[in-house]
A and B are shown apart, each in its own frame.
Chain A
Amino acid sequence: MRTSWHEIWGSGRGPAARLAPQTRILAGAAFFAACLMSPALSAPGTVFITATTAVWIYASGLPGRALRSSALLGLAMFLPYFLLVPLMVKGPSVTGPGTGWAGALAVPWGILLHGLAGLLIATATIATLTASDLRGGLLALPFPRVLAAILVQIVHQTFVLLSETNRVAAAMAVRGGSGRWRAAVRMLSSLPRVWLPRILGRADRVAAAMEIRGFAEADLRIFGQRVIRAPDAVVIVLAGAVLAVAATLRLRLL
């Protein structure tokens, strides 16, 4: 079963989804930073990263299917680093708490733990936000308005482009008489010739529409904003505390 990118947005039904959008973005960013900052090569660091990730996934209510897909993607991305371990054991420049195999394993373990935690926290944060929430949240934060508008438009257009990409892939599969996997490979190899010109044309037309509709001049706060309430304040303080613990763990290691 596949989980597509646009299905994950706003799919979370956990307690975090009831917070103001800006709180969800802030908390997600703080937990992400905390997990990357915390040392992966000490037992407290490992426990801290695992616990923070698990709590945020629970709070976001990330659906099981999306969780499995993200975890599999993370493992596929970061496990191959373990293939380098035999080479690193023999190499001269192994850094880590131990030497030999222990030292060599420490490097890919750190990459795996940080990478997987970061990916899952990002996915869980996305699951708490619809595209409208993202706009509302970004505009409520001290973030340049133009950048927020562009970012929101990129996310919105990405949804549309995914359908376009699927249509291009389907056309290639049919015209090339190939299966799904071969079509995917052909799709990737022909990105510059087929997909990119389409996207450029599309970007041109969307820019024209934005100009005609006055999108660039409009202050997108016209759609209204959620105010911060007591639960939001509690979560922001907690996120700050998590960040502080991560910083402490990192400093203790130095």
Chain B
Amino acid sequence: MTSPAPALVFDGVTVRYEVDASPAVDNVTFSLAAGERAALVGLNGSGKTTILLAAVGLVPYEGDIRVCGTPVSRRTAAEVRDRVGFLFNLPDDQLLFPKVIEDVAFGLLRRGFDRTEAYRKAVLALDSLGVGALAEWPLQHLSHGQKQRVALAGAMITDPPLLLLDEPSASLDPPGRRALAGILGRLDAAMLIATHDLDFGRRLCRRLILLEGGKVANDGEDLSTIQRLWEME
């Protein structure tokens, strides 16, 4: 039996936002096995978000990126994005519909699901995140934490094999952070979690990938390296 393709592979990836500028991500190499969780940690501006955006083909890059075995390119972008659940740093940015249920069900409707079935699954997804009662609410009436859960429900409703999460714990209170870590911990998908919240990252992931100035400075389970480097800052 062949093992499944890694959920995400970065091989010598460099990203420059302008041709002559210094790279935002510099020769980054790592891979994420199916179902594996890793925290991408680093200070602000270290390249975490850029790596997530490159993984779904939203920024041009040099090198090789593969999602579930498919190389990421302009041609394959739609196919790749169908396999990825993406959680933006600010949930307001990705909630595109006026009502909670519509936003969550959109991913299934787009894939041809019947509306009744899609809405039923959306309510189940919201229930699993503890916000099922909000299904019929207008989005503008939700708190930040509630919006974050709705956005997560929308990202995971299609059961994507890879979740890319950008600072999911930002702006959440400690109980909210614990609850979110619990929810994410129960999912089977591979996850790359960009965060500078070491506690949150550690709660979910054994593996920590430390970025500094766009380069991988450390990749492993040893937290002490990261703590030492960050305390030196």
A218: chain B residues at CB < 8 Å are: 106, 109-110
A159: chain B residues at CB < 8 Å are: 98, 139-140
Query: Which residue of the partner chain, among B86, B92, B139, contacts A212 with CB atoms under 8 Å?
Result: B86
Q: Cβ of A210 and Cβ of B96 under 8 Å apart?
A: yes
Q: Cβ of B88 and Cβ of A205 under 8 Å apart?
A: yes
Which bucket holds chain A's interface residue count?
Answer: 20 to 34
Contact code string A196-225 (vs B, CB < 8 Å = 1, else 0)? 000000100110111111110110001110
Q: Does B185 contact A (CB under 8 A)?
A: no
Smallest CB–CB gap between A245 and chain B, Å? 35
Q: Cβ of B53 and Cβ of A208 under 8 Å apart?
A: yes
Complexed CA–CA distance, A222 and B97 (Å): 13
Smallest CB–CB gap between A197 and chain B, Å? 16
Chain A, residue nearest B140 (CB): A159
Q: Does A250 contact B (CB under 8 A)?
A: no
Complexed CA–CA distance, A32 and B78 (Å): 42
Q: Cβ of A208 and Cβ of B58 under 8 Å apart?
A: yes
Smallest CB–CB gap between A98 and chain B, Å? 50
Complexed CA–CA distance, A99 and B145 (Å): 65
Smallest CB–CB gap between A207 and chain B, Å? 9
Contact code string B80-96 (vs A, CB < 8 Å = 1, else 0)? 01101010101011101
Q: How many residues of B contact A (CB 8 A)?
A: 28
Query: Which residue of the partner chain, among B77, B98, B106, contacts A130 with CB atoms under 8 Å?
Result: B98
A-facing residues in B141-167 (Cβ within 8 Å): 154
Chain A at the B interface: SS class: helix
B-facing residues in A84-120 (Cβ within 8 Å): none
Q: Does A132 contact B (CB under 8 A)?
A: yes
Q: Does B107 contact A (CB under 8 A)?
A: yes
Q: Does B56 contact A (CB under 8 A)?
A: yes
Contact code string A128-152 (vs B, CB < 8 Å = 1, else 0)? 0011100100000000000000000
A131: chain B residues at CB < 8 Å are: 98-99, 138
Query: Which residue of the partner chain, among A130, A135, A208, A222, contacts B109 with CB atoms under 8 Å?
Result: A222
Q: Cβ of B93 and Cβ of A209 under 8 Å apart?
A: yes
B-facing residues in A36-80 (Cβ within 8 Å): none
Contact status of A211 and B99, CB under 8 A, knowing A205-B90, A222-B110, A223-B109: no
Complexed CA–CA distance, A92 and B17 (Å): 62
Complexed CA–CA distance, A215 and B107 (Å): 9
Q: Cβ of A153 and Cβ of B96 under 8 Å apart?
A: yes
Q: Does A189 contact B (CB under 8 A)?
A: no
Q: Cβ of B92 and Cβ of A160 under 8 Å apart?
A: yes
Chain A, residue nearest B110 (CB): A218
Q: Cβ of A6 and Cβ of B140 under 8 Å apart?
A: yes
Complexed CA–CA distance, A163 and B144 (Å): 12
Instruction: Give the one of A132, A205, A223 with max B CB within 10 A.
Output: A223
Q: Cβ of B140 and Cβ of A209 under 8 Å apart?
A: no
Complexed CA–CA distance, A163 and B139 (Å): 12
Q: Which 10 A-B pairs have the closest CB atoms?
A: A131-B98, A209-B94, A222-B109, A205-B93, A159-B140, A218-B110, A212-B86, A132-B98, A160-B92, A209-B93
A sample of 10 cross-chain residue pairs with beta-carbon separation below 8 angstroms, ordered by A number, consists of: A131-B138, A156-B96, A159-B140, A160-B140, A206-B96, A209-B86, A212-B86, A212-B94, A218-B110, A222-B109
Other CB < 8 Å A-B pairs besides A131-B99, A159-B98, A213-B86, 14 of them? A131-B98, A132-B97, A156-B96, A156-B139, A159-B140, A205-B90, A206-B94, A209-B88, A212-B86, A212-B94, A213-B106, A222-B109, A223-B102, A223-B115
